[in-house]
Amino acid sequence: MSRAQRLLDLIQLLRRHRRPVSGRRLADELGVSIRTLYRDIVTLQGQGAPIEGEPGLGYVLKPGFMLPPLMFGEDEIEALLLGSRWVADRADGPLALAARDAMAKIVAVLPPDLTRRVEDAVLILGPGRAIAAGEGIDLAALRRTIRAERRARMAYGDGQGRASERIVWPLALSFFDHVRVLVAWCELRQDFRHFRVDRIDRFEPLDARYPQRRAVLLKAWREKEGIPSPQ
């Protein structure tokens, strides 16, 4: 591996960690000595990368540092292609269009050799079908409500056909093979609940925001469900 590629890999590795990570762990993941790792950190800092920390305390890359998409590797291109094709094939209309547009923007700025990799992708999306959507539910509006951290009034029918009216705090939309699931705090149950989107009969965003930040609530939900937090 060239030193330039190693420096790019180090940037990407730091970007995956939100909290300070030790030099030893970084060196092990890169497959280099701790001395080489320290030299690479100093080199990147000298080139303007906002890396904070020092030996013994760990390192973190401050938010906002950007690398051009021209630096995508072959595996990264394959991963982006596979993910965007899955969304384009199986998500609702606005989200599918967003996936196609995003990939088109990336391809437009790739150098010719990587553009050919896009055309000759070795990962192929298998046959499938669009995920079942809720009858009359505007999924784009649901996503906007999640981003805005707003309460919503919802009419829901469970697996036994029992109907209920609830006020929920929408937190996330989870995608499974054939169904979407809304993760939310339910004021009726005073707990986290999971709602199949295809069983939501009505979804009405409210003006009021919920009282806690979504990130805090998602962390509590992950802890309850035993789901690791993203690095």
Query: Looking at the structure, do residues 74 and 50 belong to the same domain, yes or no?
Result: no
Same domain? For 24 and 88 the reply is no
Q: Are residues 159 and 190 in the same domain?
A: yes
- Residue 6: pLDDT band (50, 70, 90) is confident
Please, are residues 163 and 155 in contact by the beta-carbon 8 Å criterion? yes
Burial class (CB in 10 A: 0-12, 13-18, 19+), 129: exposed
What is the CB-side half-sphere exposure of residue 31 using CA atoms within 13 A? 6
DSSP 3-state assignment of 38? helix
**Is 212's pLDDT higher than 60?**
yes
Query: In a 3-state reduction of DSSP, which class is residue 159?
Result: coil
Q: What is the pTM of this model?
A: 0.64
How many domains does the structure of the chain reveal? 3
Beta bridge mates, 181: 174, 196
Degrees, nearest 5: CA angle 56-62-66: 130
- Confidence band of 3 (pLDDT split at 50, 70, 90): confident
Q: 52 with 80, same domain?
A: no
Q: Within a domain: residue 125?
A: no
Neighbours of 14 (CB within 10 A): 21
Of 65-69, 107-111, 201-205, 216-220, minimum mean pLDDT range: 65-69
Is 124 contained in some domain? no
> Per the domain annotation, does 27 fall within a domain?
yes
Do 14 and 48 fall into the same domain? yes
| Percent with pLDDT over 70 in the chain | 83
Among the ranges given (80-89, 203-212, 215-224), the one the predictor scored with the smallest mean pLDDT: 80-89
The residue whose two tokens read 């009216």 is: 165
Whole-angstrom distance, CA of residue 11 vs CA of residue 49: 8
Identify whether residues 17 and 55 lie together within a single domain: yes
| 198 closest CA partner among 150, 144, 158 | 158
As a whole number of Å, the end-to-end CA separation of the chain is: 25
Q: How far is CA 117 from the centre of its chain?
A: 24
Residues 36 and 83 in one domain: no
pLDDT of residue 153: 97
Per-residue pLDDT tens digits for 26-82: 999 999 999 999 999 998 888 788 899 877 788 998 876 665 544 667 777 778 888
Give me the domain span that covers residue 169: 139-225
pLDDT exceeds cutoff 60 at 134 = no
CB count in 10 Å sphere of residue 181: 15
